[in-house]
Amino acid sequence: MGALCAHLGVSGDVERFAEGALPVYAVGDGHVLKLFPTVHMDEVATERDVLAAVQGRLPVPTPRLYGAGEFGGGGYVLMERLRGESLKDVWPRLGENARQDVSRQVGEALSALHMIVPPKLEPEDWAGFVRTQRDGCVERQRTRGLGAEWLEQIPDFLDGVDLGRPELVLAHTEVMSAHLLIDGGRLTGLFDFEPAMHAAREYEFVATGVFLTRGDRKDNRALHNGYGRTVDPRKVLAYTLLHVYSNLPWYLRELPTEARTLDELAEHWFGH
């Protein structure tokens, strides 16, 4: 980190953020350095290009891009440090009205994001991606420990959801409380764009439903009101099963439910 900071000409106290799959460091008050080990080098371009594409175009601030490249065998992105507290820490303290207001703000941000023409992103063949994910869906969920009562429903459920030829949008894919900052009731930051994809819009609402509104119908309704258009809960659950990081047993532990069918689950988690 010392060598990289010297190379980039930035200085200040260096502190690693506690969360995140990749190592991310605050450098003084104004900079953030995100590091990409060799196996994640392909994600440098995604983070770089999406940060450039969204700069100044969302109602929620995103980090200004200062630089990106390779150093010492790995990759890095140097960006602006945004202000505010993590929404993950603040959310439990919010009252019902405040939660709905924040949810609406998230929906407005997603509406703006989905209107931006994306840079070149994976997957290049969305229909092929969906087929591949679907072919391995039951086995992936089985290896994660999903019970037979759910596993046996998956093929018929996916057969019954028309994913068709969706309009593809620039999707963050992990809009959740841990990737949002808030100050004084207003969202002050959306970050972590390295998992961004060119995806069906419903794919975006997997993360918001599971990791933000968490099945709360009023919060979910507020989010979709902010988004400004209807999103089919069954399509969102289908993409929950097909998501690259899908782990239905974990989600069921995080969001307990009395639902016994996938149709009921779609309405419980993503209904509005």
Q: What is the pLDDT of residues 3-19, one digit of tens each?
A: 999 999 999 999 999 88
* Pair 236, 266: CB distance under 8 Å: yes
**pLDDT band per the 50, 70, 90 thresholds, residue 253:** very high
Q: Is residue 255 a contact partner of residue 210, using CB atoms and an 8 Å limit?
A: yes
Task: Answer whether 4's CB lies under 8 Å from 67's CB.
Answer: no
Where do runs of H (alpha helix) occur along the chain? 2-8, 42-54, 87-90, 96-113, 126-135, 137-143, 148-151, 154-159, 201-211, 217-227, 233-242, 248-254, 262-270
- pTM: predicted TM-score of the whole model, two decimal places: 0.96
CATH of region 2-80:
3.30.200.20
Under the banding of pLDDT at 50, 70 and 90, the label for residue 76 is very high
CA dihedral defined by 94, 98, 103, 107, rounded to 10 degrees? -150
As annotated, the residues of the chain forming the CATH 3.30.200.20 domain(s) are: 2-80
Average per-residue pLDDT for the chain: 97
Of 251, 161, 260, give the one whose Cα is nearest residue 215: 251
198 is written with which tokens? 């060119």
Q: Considering only CA atoms, which of 27, 59, 17 is closest in space to residue 178?
A: 17
- Give the three-class secondary structure for 92: helix
Confidence of residue 21 (pLDDT cuts 50, 70, 90): confident
Would you place residue 140 in the very low, low, confident or very high pLDDT band (cuts 50, 70, 90)? very high
CATH class of the region 85-270: alpha beta
User: Cα separation of 205 and 233, whole Å?
Assistant: 9
pLDDT for residue 67: 97
Q: What is the arithmetic mean of pLDDT over 214-233?
A: 97
Q: Is 90 exceeded by the pLDDT of residue 149?
A: yes
CATH 3.90.1200.10 intervals, the chain: 85-270
* The pLDDT of residue 20 is above 90: no
Q: Coil, strand, or helix at residue 102?
A: helix
Cα separation values, 106 from 127, 162, 199, 260, Å: 28, 26, 18, 30
CB proximity list for 187: less than 8 A, separation 6 or greater = 60, 84, 87, 102, 105, 106, 109, 180, 181
